[in-house]
């Protein structure tokens, strides 16, 4: 088998001014054979995207590259720009993470598809349009002829990504670089895109360089896996060996820290635990064994009861007309102290709107939210302010949910000042520091600003802010979705610990069934604003009743399975 692309001792550094250089990739070597899918796996900051982007030199101007990148024997690092431009799109094509921002919103799909065809293959406009229609059909877009005239915003995220793939395929490339192509998409759509990529790979006999942070996903699609961390390769090999007998501690930790659908440990392994454990094991001590989850008291008092909650938005239609859009309708559930209710659904299913409505961050259109015997939706301003203390929310994006101009200390003190918790500043500060330690940050964080922290640390601060008020119910709106797998595991463990310690009740909103399964006692499955299924977490996984739930479950990447290979 000949090597299509061979990366040899690649080093990439970014000049940061004043002689400072940030090394992103430090000596990476791997090969991509013909007709093979190679997956590059790692957490954010591991240098996986930088490695892939240096192949076509799509890096910013301040990047310096060393080493060799051989494309069919030719060194691309020495290649002049015109030579690279001839390769880009024609022999090596790219698909990026966010289809929404990769497509030009002011051109219709036909124009964007025909451009590379006319440029690289020299087709006439008419030939190019015919070919574009074929391509759209090939990537599974219904009514391709009509779709040629639609604009990107008229398509769903999955369809946009299909268009991106069609564009990448248009010149029959030998190598497709897919940089987290499914991360921004729902699980069911992700499944379709993966299947599409697999099919196209065999049909066109091309190679794929697949970049992802999700080992589960990679296990399903890749032939070869390269695991990266901090700019170096930790391990590489055929997918079966990586999954069945991983050699490197880090790979093993990555495999372990992802909640799975089979078996439910009380805690997730985190990377440091794992590495520490294997060190201990090597020294002759017993490794940590994951204990099974303890059963919770099924008769705990009900803290939150929701009856036929509904929220509608009014969309303008025509000059004076209005159309009702029912974002949430008829949601009922009971939440017991110390329990977790998982809410799953795809984007647009109304799960976030439901969470915001619980706190009255959106005014609901109907229904009741009974909290401690009082209907939250009927409270006056003062009682509502008191209730705010007892039901709190953590948002998805830790980069957006902290005020960038507040120090962590100010962020934590503010709710206590508003609600008059603690006698004076000294006492409040004391409390804030205790809580910081409780969520796993040290007191030094107090005077720092949010931009000095990583995503996981920021999410811990957001959780600490909620805890300052001693809430009884915490709404977690995709609280771990934006985090790396290993950080996700840490935050999930933290949430479990806090629940055990304070008896918190969680409403855990997520699109990720595996995570929901790990943390929830009961699960609501939502679709188009309606609850389609409601059952205990174990039951939903073991015996889903609804087709929709079954489809969601089937779409979850399960990692490498020999039978599937």
Partner 1 sequence: MSAVLSADGAPGDALQKSEGVWHAAWRRFKADRVGLVSLVIVLGFLGLIVLSALGLVASQWQDEVGVANAPPTFMGPAAAESTAAIEVPKGPNVDLSDVDPLAPRYKEWDERAKQFATTETVKAETLPFGGDRLGRDVLAKAVKGTEISVFVGVMAALCATLIGTGLGAFGGFFGGKVGDFLEWVYNVFESIPNILLIFAFAAVVGRGVESVVVILALTGWTGMYRQVRAEFIKHRSREYVRSAEAIGASVGSRMFRHILPNVSHVILVRMSLLAVGFIKAEVILSYLGLGVRVDQVSWGTMLAEAQSELILGHWWQLAAATLFMAVFVTAFSLMADAWRDALDPKLRGLE
The least distance separating partner 1 from the CB of residue 173, rounded to whole angstroms, comes to 32
The least distance separating partner 1 from the CB of residue 182, rounded to whole angstroms, comes to 24
Burial class (CB in 10 A: 0-12, 13-18, 19+), 275: middle
The yes or no reply on residue 59 touching partner 1 (CB under 8 A) is: no
Q: Which is nearer to partner 1, 20 or 291 (CB)?
A: 20
The least distance separating partner 1 from the CB of residue 475, rounded to whole angstroms, comes to 9
Helix boundaries (H) for 2-103: 48-55, 81-87, 99-102
Q: Which of 213, 465, 496, 527 binds partner 1 (CB under 8 A)?
A: 465
Q: Which is nearer to partner 1, 282 or 418 (CB)?
A: 418
Please list, in sequence order, all residues whose beta carbon lies within 8 angstroms of the beta carbon of residue 74, skipping any fewer than 6 positions away: none
The least distance separating partner 1 from the CB of residue 444, rounded to whole angstroms, comes to 5
Phi and psi torsions of 521, nearest 5°: -100, -40
Q: Which is nearer to partner 1, 140 or 348 (CB)?
A: 348
Quick one: which segment of 242-250, 365-373, 458-466, 548-556 binds partner 1 (CB under 8 A)?
458-466
Residues facing 178 on adjacent strands = 95, 210
Q: Which is nearer to partner 1, 252 or 311 (CB)?
A: 311
Quick one: which segment of 396-404, 496-504, 518-526, 550-558 binds partner 1 (CB under 8 A)?
396-404
Spatial separation of the C-alpha atoms in residues 32 and 224, rounded to whole Å: 9
Residues facing 8 on adjacent strands = 68
Distance between start and end Cα atoms, the chain? 20
The least distance separating partner 1 from the CB of residue 429, rounded to whole angstroms, comes to 6
Quick one: which segment of 68-76, 180-188, 308-316, 406-414 binds partner 1 (CB under 8 A)?
406-414
Q: Which is nearer to partner 1, 33 or 443 (CB)?
A: 443
Spatial separation of the C-alpha atoms in residues 520 and 513, rounded to whole Å: 10
Q: Which is nearer to partner 1, 27 or 443 (CB)?
A: 443
Q: Which is nearer to partner 1, 151 or 406 (CB)?
A: 406
Selection from 497, 504, 499, 495 nearest residue 473 by Cα:
504
The yes or no reply on residue 353 touching partner 1 (CB under 8 A) is: no
Residues facing 311 on adjacent strands = 328
Task: Write each residue from 409 to 438 as x if it is in contact with partner 1 (CB under 8 A), else as -, in one continuous string.
Answer: xx---xx--xx-----xx--x---------
The least distance separating partner 1 from the CB of residue 415, rounded to whole angstroms, comes to 4
Spatial separation of the C-alpha atoms in residues 243 and 225, rounded to whole Å: 9
**Residues binding partner 1: number (CB under 8 A):** 41
Degrees to nearest 5, angle at CA 505 with 503 and 509: 145
Q: Which of 54, 114, 396, 499 binds partner 1 (CB under 8 A)?
A: 396
The least distance separating partner 1 from the CB of residue 315, rounded to whole angstroms, comes to 16
List the interface residues with partner 1, window 60-119 (CB under 8 A).
none
Quick one: which segment of 157-165, 268-276, 345-353, 465-473 binds partner 1 (CB under 8 A)?
465-473
The yes or no reply on residue 449 touching partner 1 (CB under 8 A) is: yes
Task: Return the DSSP state at 424.
Answer: S
Give the gyration radius of the chain's Cα atoms. Answer: 26
| Residue 100 CA to its chain's centroid (Å) | 16
Burial class (CB in 10 A: 0-12, 13-18, 19+), 253: buried
List the interface residues with partner 1, window 467-506 (CB under 8 A).
469
Q: In angstroms, what CA-CA distances link 105 with 1, 109, 180, 189, 197?
A: 42, 9, 21, 22, 24
Q: Which is nearer to partner 1, 470 or 539 (CB)?
A: 470
Burial class (CB in 10 A: 0-12, 13-18, 19+), 202: exposed
Task: Write each residue from 355 to 394 as x if it is in contact with partner 1 (CB under 8 A), else as -, in one continuous string.
Answer: -x--x-x-----------------------x--xx--xx-
Q: Are 32 and 175 in contact (CB under 8 A)?
A: yes
Q: Which of 73, 451, 542, 564 binds partner 1 (CB under 8 A)?
A: 451
Quick one: which segment of 1-9, 104-112, 369-377, 439-447 binds partner 1 (CB under 8 A)?
439-447
Q: Are 151 and 108 in contact (CB under 8 A)?
A: yes
Q: Which is nearer to partner 1, 301 or 447 (CB)?
A: 447
Please list, in sequence order, all residues whose beta carbon lies within 8 angstroms of the beta carbon of residue 289, skipping any fewer than 6 positions away: none
* DSSP of 274-339: HHHHHHHHHTTPPPP-PPBPPPP-TTPPEEEEEEEEEEEEEEEETTTEEEEEEEEEEEEEEEETT-
The least distance separating partner 1 from the CB of residue 259, rounded to whole angstroms, comes to 25
The least distance separating partner 1 from the CB of residue 399, rounded to whole angstroms, comes to 9
The footprint of partner 1 (CB under 8 A) covers: 16-17, 356, 359, 361, 385, 388-389, 392-393, 395-397, 400-407, 409-410, 414-415, 418-419, 425-426, 429, 444, 446-449, 451-452, 462, 465-466, 469
């Amino acid at each position: 088998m000949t090597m299509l692309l061979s990366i040899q001792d690649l080093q990439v550094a970014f000049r940061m001014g004043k002689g400072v250089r940030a090394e992103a990739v430090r000596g990476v070597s791997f090969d991509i054979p013909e007709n093979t899918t190679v997956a590059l796996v790692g957490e954010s900051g591991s240098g996986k995207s930088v490695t892939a982007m240096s192949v076509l030199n799509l890096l910013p101007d301040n990047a310096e590259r060393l080493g060799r990148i051989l494309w069919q024997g030719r060194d691309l690092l020495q290649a002049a720009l015109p030579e690279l431009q001839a390769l880009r799109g024609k022999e090596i094509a790219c698909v990026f993470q966010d289809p929404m921002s990769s497509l030009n919103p002011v051109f219709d799909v036909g124009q964007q598809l025909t451009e590379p065809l006319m440029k690289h293959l020299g087709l006439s406009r008419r030939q190019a349009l015919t070919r574009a229609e074929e391509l759209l059909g090939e990537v599974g877009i219904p009514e391709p002829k009509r779709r040629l005239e639609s604009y990107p915003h008229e398509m769903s995220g999955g369809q946009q990504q299909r268009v991106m793939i069609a564009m990448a395929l248009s010149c029959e490339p030998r190598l497709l670089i897919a940089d987290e192509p499914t991360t921004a998409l729902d699980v069911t759509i992700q499944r379709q895109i993966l299947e599409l990529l697999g099919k196209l790979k065999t049909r066109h006999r091309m190679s794929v360089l697949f970049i992802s942070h999700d080992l589960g996903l990679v296990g399903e699609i890749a032939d070869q896996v390269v695991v990266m961390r901090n700019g170096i390769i930790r391990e590489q090999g055929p997918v079966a060996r990586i999954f069945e007998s991983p050699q490197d501690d880090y790979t093993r930790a990555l495999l372990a820290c992802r909640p799975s659908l089979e078996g439910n440990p009380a805690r997730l392994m985190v990377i440091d635990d794992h590495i520490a454990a294997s060190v201990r094991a090597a020294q002759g001590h017993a490794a940590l064994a994951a204990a099974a989850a303890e059963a919770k008291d099924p008769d705990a008092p009900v803290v939150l009861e929701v009856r036929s909650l509904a929220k509608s938005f009014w969309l303008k239609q025509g000059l004076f007309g209005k159309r009702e859009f029912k974002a949430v309708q008829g949601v009922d559930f009971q939440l017991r102290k110390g329990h977790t209710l998982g809410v799953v659904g795809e984007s647009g299913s109304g799960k976030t709107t439901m969470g915001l409505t619980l706190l009255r961050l959106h005014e609901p259109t109907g229904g009741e939210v009974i909290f401690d015997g009082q209907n939250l939706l009927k409270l006056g301003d003062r009682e509502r302010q008191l209730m705010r203390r007892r039901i709190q929310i953590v948002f998805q994006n830790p980069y957006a949910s902290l005020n960038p101009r507040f120090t962590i200390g100010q962020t934590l003190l503010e709710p206590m000042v508003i609600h008059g918790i603690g006698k004076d500043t000294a006492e409040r500060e004391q409390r804030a520091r205790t809580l910081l330690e409780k969520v796993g940050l040290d007191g030094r964080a107090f005077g720092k600003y949010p931009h000095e922290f990583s995503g996981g640390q920021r999410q811990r601060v957001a959780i600490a802010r909620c805890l300052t008020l001693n809430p009884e119910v915490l709404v977690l709106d995709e609280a771990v979705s934006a985090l790396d797998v290993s950080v996700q595991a840490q935050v999930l463990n933290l949430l479990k610990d806090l629940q055990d310690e304070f008896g918190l009740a969680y409403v855990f909103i997520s699109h990720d069934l595996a995570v929901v399964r790990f943390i929830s006692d009961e699960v609501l499955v939502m679709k188009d604003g309606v609850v389609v299924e409601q059952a205990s977490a174990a039951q939903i996984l073991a015996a889903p009743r609804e087709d929709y739930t079954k489809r969601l479950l089937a779409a979850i990447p399960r990692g490498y399975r020999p039978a599937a290979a």
